[in-house]
């Protein structure tokens, strides 16, 4: 079946502009996660959605970052007034969220470059 998809694959923007990143999870997966990966580093958790529950936004680095999810489908991550330190790969993952191991499956990521 289809995996997690993300768009765009690459985004170059100017400092101060807003950007929107999109994630389509695996069909039937109720949990959705966003992570950020800076160059040469591991992944940092940003936000988690589970069904209709309130999202866990504890990993969002600033109030310039926000995310939405429509039901159990598409999610968008929005970064307002982008800064150069926002340059990174943004990875989305989804999982079934039912019992162990609840493996997270990742999309190909969006590479964001802020000039």
Partner 1 sequence: AQKITQTQPGMFVQEKEAVTLDCTYDTSDPSYGLFWYKQPSSGEMIFLIYQGSYDQQNATEGRYSLNFQKARKSANLVISASQLGDSAMYFCAMRENDYKLSFGAGTTVTVRA
Residues that bind partner 1 (CB under 8 A): 31, 33, 35, 40-45, 48, 50, 56, 59, 89, 91, 93, 95, 97, 100-109, 111
Give dist(CA 46, CA 67) in Å, integer.
9
Q: Least separation, in Å, of the C-beta of 24 and partner 1?
A: 14
Nearer to partner 1, 85 or 102 (CB): 102
Q: Least separation, in Å, of the C-beta of 39 and partner 1?
A: 11
Q: Least separation, in Å, of the C-beta of 22 and partner 1?
A: 16
Q: Least separation, in Å, of the C-beta of 25 and partner 1?
A: 14
Nearer to partner 1, 59 or 74 (CB): 59
């Amino acid at each position: 079946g289809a995996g997690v998809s993300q768009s765009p694959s690459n985004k170059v923007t100017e400092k101060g502009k807003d950007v929107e990143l999109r994630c389509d999870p695996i069909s039937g997966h109720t949990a959705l996660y966003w992570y950020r990966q800076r160059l040469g580093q591991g992944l940092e958790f940003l936000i988690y959605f589970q069904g209709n529950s309130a999202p866990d936004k504890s990993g969002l680095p600033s109030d310039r970052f926000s995310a939405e999810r429509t039901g159990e489908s598409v999610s968008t991550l929005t970064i307002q007034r982008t800064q150069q330190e926002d340059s990174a790969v943004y990875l989305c993952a989804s999982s079934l969220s039912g019992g162990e191991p609840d493996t997270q499956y990742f999309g190909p990521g969006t590479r964001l470059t802020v000039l």
